[in-house]
Chain A
Amino acid sequence: MTEERKEHLPLTGIRVIDVATVIAAPYCATILGEFGADVLKVEHPIGGDLARHFGTPTSRGDTLTWMSEARNKRSVTVDLHRPEGVDIFKRLIAKTDVLCENFRPGTLEKWGLGWEVLREINPGLVMLRVSGYGQTGPYKDRPGFARIAHAVGGLAYLAGMPKGTPVTPGSTTLGDYLSGLFGCVGVLLALRYKEKTGRGQYVDTALYESVFRCTEELAPAYAMYGEVRERHGPHIETACPYGHFPTKDGRWIAIACTTDKLFARLAEAMGRPELASTGLYGEQKTRLDNRHEVNEIVRDWCGSHTRDEVLALCNDANAPAGPLNNIADIFGDRQFHARRNLVAIDDPSLGETLIVPSVLPRMSRTPGRIAHLGPKLGEHTEEVLKDLLGLGDGEIAELRSHRVI
């Protein structure tokens, strides 16, 4: 860019330290960075964030998940197992608005970096703490991953064919992203409160409870009616037809008739409007009582058309249907193109172009940005220690030789 254009985003001027690993709390920092915050990724000098190693590696060694999700961050290496490292970290905290961490509870405390200590250094600090089970409760010390959180939070139990093996609910990292999103909501709320009152606070987010929070009436229905929800394969219990249906060309289509009006439109699309009459299946209750029959009718219809034909007929009738896209389908999908949900970013360190999901949410006046992909380990250590902490070349060289940074 030749023209000096001052970027003004909602979080311009906010500094974030992301000392967390993998996706959960780091994804919160990613969002903050997309909307203008300066995100310092503080990593161990050897190996760095586990996200660099977990998944498919690039020619540079760092994984694809790292390249995509560490977007916009600056990498600063500091060894928190060393007192000199702890000292540098504290000095960084004094100049920071938000800290994101997801160690097992007690780890930061062990290094002398507990909430009380950090708050004393920076009374306005907003701290996001993500862990498998949260900062309190009997399981807090257990190791937790999204896979475990899906199980504990009740999601995994519900994914799969009735009585069959419960399956991964589509992705093993859902719980990480959900916690990052809940954490980000908490951080933005806390920043707002801090700006009004000067008081910082911490946000305590557990992977399992982020997952559990998304289970609508599962808990109230058990409490009131003793109903234990089970796996329903491609269907759900409260609406019909609702599920995944195979098409003639061996693909799958999702159909969701949550109301009678939507079923009437589907019946129209199938060329059998009479199915939606009150004498037949016009009412949700009747459809639920005859779910096997109704599903059979829909399955037969889908099975006699290609996926694209089913879609075209449903779309013409405004019936809610969609293809079960694989990633190749998504790359070819006009809607994803029109919305620019995928962006190609040239990465000089790889000499390659990577395609990554673009920024969400989409804001009309202050759209987020991807300035660069995941940094190399320690790429910004020197500039941050110099610019932010005013360290000299000699000091930096010494810290390096002692492997503190």
Chain B
Amino acid sequence: MNEGSGKPLPLDGLRVIDVATFLGGPYAAAILGEFGAEILKVEHPVSGDPMRRFGRATKRHDATLAWLSEARNKKSVTIDLRKPRGVELFVKLVSKSDVLIENFRPGTLEGWGLTWEVLSGANPGLVMLRVSGYGQTGPYRRRTGFAHIAHAIGGLSYLAGFPGETPVVPGTAPLGDYVSSLYGAIGILLALRHKEHTGEGQVIDVGICESVFRLMDELATAYGLFGKIREREGSGSFVAVPHGHFRTKDEKWVAIACTTDKMFERFADAMGQPELASSHLYGPQRQRLKARDEVNRIVNEWTASLTRDEVMRRCIDKEVPVGKLNSIADIFEDEHFKARKNLITIDEEGLGPVVVPNVVPILSETPGSVRNLGPPLGNATYEVMRELLEISAAEIASLRQQKVI
């Protein structure tokens, strides 16, 4: 953990309200928090963010591991937006903040009277990130959207799996939440820049589906020009051979990626079969693509004759792009993850040490930090009401009693 070294961070002095749930949107707030912003997680007074209950439970009844990790650096403030008094408090809070992040189904905030007009009326420089499954516009905007659905709509899930077989989850269920949050964080940082130049705020409208779709390299362009529909490719890729996952003698897996002829030449060397890279055999990519099954068979035979460590060693010696298919147990053992401090341990009261992924990206002058894990529900409600909104202690008690906060 970084102690408060007093070193300025890029987002010092910035206040962000995160009234969103789960990860698509909240992760953008987590990034801003890592780099110095104050994050007020506004939650329902009784249930809080459902992320608190999603995933592996802990001894703390209001926190799963996913919550602890991804609500890092946030403070929790409870406000019931279904009550008019709650809406009033919220608008007041918005008037004292720089950024608002939400991911309700489009129309929900408006239903509570929290339209852009009202919010920007309270704060003309407001930067508002809106994340939803399908975005704020279009015929599907009101549909329930999750990353899993967005992976399907965005074209990613169709491509994960073996040809003609069941499409699988593309590795992790919330990928689209992370991706849409990254787009959201970029939008916020751009909008803050514009605001500082002009005083004008604006809305960033991010659909999870379109965020996933944006990552699909030439998929759209190739269909547009040639009518080519990409299909599932198992562990391979249409652009290069060998480029896939191969099983080793000890029943483990390695990834090998020979994207260029030069790399294949090195790989043939590593396999002790340099002749494979000759121009009349498999030297040119075009020929390897044509003889895909044969090339993959040769590679499979070779990897199956050696342990994973031995395959790794021989490939690394020849500078062939290779990597272990790490399970999380492998990752915890990996010396590179250790050297880069990709995992950090934080002592959480009542839970003991909790290991979470460290901040990405790494900045040389102003590194981000994890100061606290996901907060208990409402841990900053009093502080925010009293100090920021200057509400008297008596009134706070009454708001609590009426379950507004």
The interface stretch among A273-281, A357-365, A385-393 is A357-365
The answer on a CB contact under 8 Å between A174 and B215 is: yes
Known A357-B213, A364-B202; judge A223-B325 contact (CB<8 A). Answer: no
Residues of chain B with a CB closer than 8 A to A177's CB: 179, 214-215
A58, B139: Cα distance in complex, Å: 34
Is residue A7 within 8 Å, beta carbon to beta carbon, of the partner chain?
A: no
Is residue B363 within 8 Å, beta carbon to beta carbon, of the partner chain?
A: yes
A315, B365: Cα distance in complex, Å: 49
Considering the complex, give the chain B residue whose CB is closest to the CB of A23: B217
Is residue B79 within 8 Å, beta carbon to beta carbon, of the partner chain?
A: no
The answer on a CB contact under 8 Å between B327 and A157 is: yes
The answer on a CB contact under 8 Å between A238 and B11 is: no
A364, B134: Cα distance in complex, Å: 16
The answer on a CB contact under 8 Å between B55 and A326 is: no
Is residue B280 within 8 Å, beta carbon to beta carbon, of the partner chain?
A: no
Residues of chain B with a CB closer than 8 A to A156's CB: 171, 245, 253, 255, 325
A145, B192: Cα distance in complex, Å: 33
Known A10-B191, A10-B193, A161-B166; judge A220-B356 contact (CB<8 A). Answer: yes
Within the complex, the shortest CB–CB distance from B244 to chain A, in Å, comes to 7
The answer on a CB contact under 8 Å between B223 and A167 is: no
Residues of chain B with a CB closer than 8 A to A331's CB: 220, 223-224
Within the complex, the shortest CB–CB distance from B119 to chain A, in Å, comes to 13
The interface stretch among B90-98, B203-211, B388-396 is B203-211
Residues of chain A with a CB closer than 8 A to B48's CB: none
Known A219-B343, A320-B145; judge A228-B328 contact (CB<8 A). Answer: yes
Residues of chain B with a CB closer than 8 A to A361's CB: 183-184, 186-187, 204-206
Residues of chain B with a CB closer than 8 A to A68's CB: 217-218, 220-221
A401, B204: Cα distance in complex, Å: 49
Considering the complex, give the chain A residue whose CB is closest to the CB of B210: A341
Is residue B397 within 8 Å, beta carbon to beta carbon, of the partner chain?
A: no
The answer on a CB contact under 8 Å between A335 and B139 is: yes
Known A217-B65, A220-B68, A361-B183; judge A204-B362 contact (CB<8 A). Answer: yes
Is residue B158 within 8 Å, beta carbon to beta carbon, of the partner chain?
A: yes
The interface size of chain B toward A, counting residues with CB under 8 Å, comes to 155
A110, B361: Cα distance in complex, Å: 25
Is residue B5 within 8 Å, beta carbon to beta carbon, of the partner chain?
A: no
Is residue A42 within 8 Å, beta carbon to beta carbon, of the partner chain?
A: no
The answer on a CB contact under 8 Å between B364 and A170 is: no
Is residue B44 within 8 Å, beta carbon to beta carbon, of the partner chain?
A: no
Q: Which one of B23, B162, B220, B365 lies within 8 Å of A327 (CB-CB)?
A: B220
The answer on a CB contact under 8 Å between A364 and B355 is: no
The answer on a CB contact under 8 Å between A335 and B138 is: yes
The answer on a CB contact under 8 Å between A244 and B157 is: yes
The answer on a CB contact under 8 Å between A63 and B218 is: yes
A234, B170: Cα distance in complex, Å: 9
The answer on a CB contact under 8 Å between B363 and A326 is: no
A330, B229: Cα distance in complex, Å: 11
Q: Which one of A55, A224, A227 lies within 8 Å of B217 (CB-CB)?
A: A55
A143, B258: Cα distance in complex, Å: 11
The answer on a CB contact under 8 Å between B146 and A154 is: no
Known A178-B182, A185-B186, A216-B55; judge A234-B331 contact (CB<8 A). Answer: no
Residues of chain B with a CB closer than 8 A to A364's CB: 202-205
Within the complex, the shortest CB–CB distance from B297 to chain A, in Å, comes to 14
Within the complex, the shortest CB–CB distance from A140 to chain B, in Å, comes to 8
The answer on a CB contact under 8 Å between B355 and A134 is: no
The answer on a CB contact under 8 Å between B214 and A357 is: yes
The SS class assigned to the A binding surface is mixed
Is residue A301 within 8 Å, beta carbon to beta carbon, of the partner chain?
A: no
Considering the complex, give the chain A residue whose CB is closest to the CB of B340: A137
Residues of chain A with a CB closer than 8 A to B255's CB: 147-148, 150-152, 156
Total A-B Cβ pairs within 8 A: 512
Residues of chain A with a CB closer than 8 A to B191's CB: 10, 363, 365-366
The interface stretch among B80-88, B107-115, B235-243, B270-278 is B235-243
A341, B323: Cα distance in complex, Å: 34
The answer on a CB contact under 8 Å between A235 and B10 is: no
Is residue A286 within 8 Å, beta carbon to beta carbon, of the partner chain?
A: no
Is residue A214 within 8 Å, beta carbon to beta carbon, of the partner chain?
A: yes
The answer on a CB contact under 8 Å between B207 and A339 is: yes
Is residue A375 within 8 Å, beta carbon to beta carbon, of the partner chain?
A: no
The answer on a CB contact under 8 Å between B340 and A209 is: yes
Within the complex, the shortest CB–CB distance from B240 to chain A, in Å, comes to 8
Q: Which one of A145, A203, A227, A355 lies within 8 Å of B361 (CB-CB)?
A: A203
The answer on a CB contact under 8 Å between B205 and A362 is: yes
A150, B325: Cα distance in complex, Å: 8
Is residue A138 within 8 Å, beta carbon to beta carbon, of the partner chain?
A: yes
Chain A, 202-223, CB within 8 A of any chain B CB? 202-206, 208-210, 212-223
Considering the complex, give the chain B residue whose CB is closest to the CB of A205: B361
Per-residue CB proximity of B271-302 to A under 8 Å, as 1/0? 00000000000000000000000000000000
A336, B6: Cα distance in complex, Å: 47
The answer on a CB contact under 8 Å between B342 and A322 is: no
The answer on a CB contact under 8 Å between B327 and A228 is: yes
Known A165-B247, A322-B150; judge A143-B140 contact (CB<8 A). Answer: no
Per-residue CB proximity of B214-236 to A under 8 Å, as 1/0? 11111111111110111111111
Is residue B316 within 8 Å, beta carbon to beta carbon, of the partner chain?
A: yes
Chain A, 8-37, CB within 8 A of any chain B CB? 8-11, 23, 31, 35
6 closest Cβ pairs, A-B complex: A355-B224, A223-B355, A201-B365, A338-B138, A254-B152, A151-B255
Given A148-B255, A252-B167, A341-B213, 7 other A-B contacts at CB below 8 A? A188-B186, A210-B360, A224-B354, A242-B173, A324-B158, A360-B183, A363-B205
23 A-B residue pairs with Cβ-Cβ distance under 8 Å, sorted by A, are: A10-B191, A68-B221, A143-B319, A147-B237, A151-B254, A154-B331, A161-B161, A168-B234, A172-B239, A173-B215, A200-B365, A212-B357, A217-B64, A223-B355, A265-B144, A320-B148, A333-B153, A335-B141, A338-B139, A352-B225, A362-B135, A362-B204, A365-B202
